[in-house]
Structure 1
Amino acid sequence: MAGEPQIIVLGSVTTTEADMPELLEAALAHVRRSRTEPGCLAHGVSRDVEDPLRLVFVERWADRAALDAHFAVPESSAFVEVVGRVATTPPTLELLPIVPRD
């Protein structure tokens, strides 16, 4: 792999049972839209089997520039607003560069 490394994003958000339908709708719209963005190699959301009020996001981006462009899209900011409103604990977000094996 030449150039900048691909980036894995791991995120999660926990909400209430009452707010889960709104969060699920926003999360699915966000994931489906994100998959169409340049540099998005994978983007998914799943419910945590140990905590059904927690959603887990796994994303893969071609490089940091593609991820930064994703963060700059107005719809991403709108999704972050929904998360901020319905989260019961601070959401998590980790950015992990993929290190090629030699």
Structure 2
Amino acid sequence: MLIVAGHLTVAATQREAYLAGCEGVVEQARRTPGCLDFAISADRVDPQRINVFERWSSRADLDAFRGDGPDDAMSAALVAAEMAEYHGATERSLT
């Protein structure tokens, strides 16, 4: 399993528009084979922060979805980004 997690920073005045522009991406990701979870959401404390969490079955599934990455308009709105990739072979339910 592959986990991609981190956050994006945008101007506070642009956050809602940025998130609205991500709705199609989230819907598409969740329909993609190998996507186990995909979320892009507003941070509850920082008005500039957008949290990202993705869980994929494999690197191949993630790469097939990613393609060329975000479009130019989405990239231009970013002030900063901090993302990391985590690999895990086991899962233990906490619920």
Q: In which range does the TM-score fall when normalised by the shorter chain?
A: 0.7 to 0.9
Aligned to 2:13: 18
| Structural RMSD (CA) | 1.8
- The question of whether the paired residues in 2 share the 8 Å contact of 1:10 and 1:58 is answered with yes
Aligned residues: 91
TM-score between the two structures when normalised by the length of structure 2: 0.82
| Structure 2 gap ranges (5+) | none
| Structure 1 gap ranges (5+) | 1-5
Aligned pairs for 1:1-102 within 5 A: 6-72=1-67, 76-78=69-71, 81-89=72-80, 91-100=81-90
Distance 2:54 2:31 in 1: 13
Aligned to 1:3: none
Give every structure 1 segment of 4 or more consecutive aligned residues whose post-TM-superposition deviation is greater than 6 Å: none
Q: In percent, how many aligned pairs have the same letter?
A: 26
Give the deviation of 1:65 after TM superposition.
Answer: 0.6
Give the deviation of 1:77 after TM superposition.
Answer: 3.3
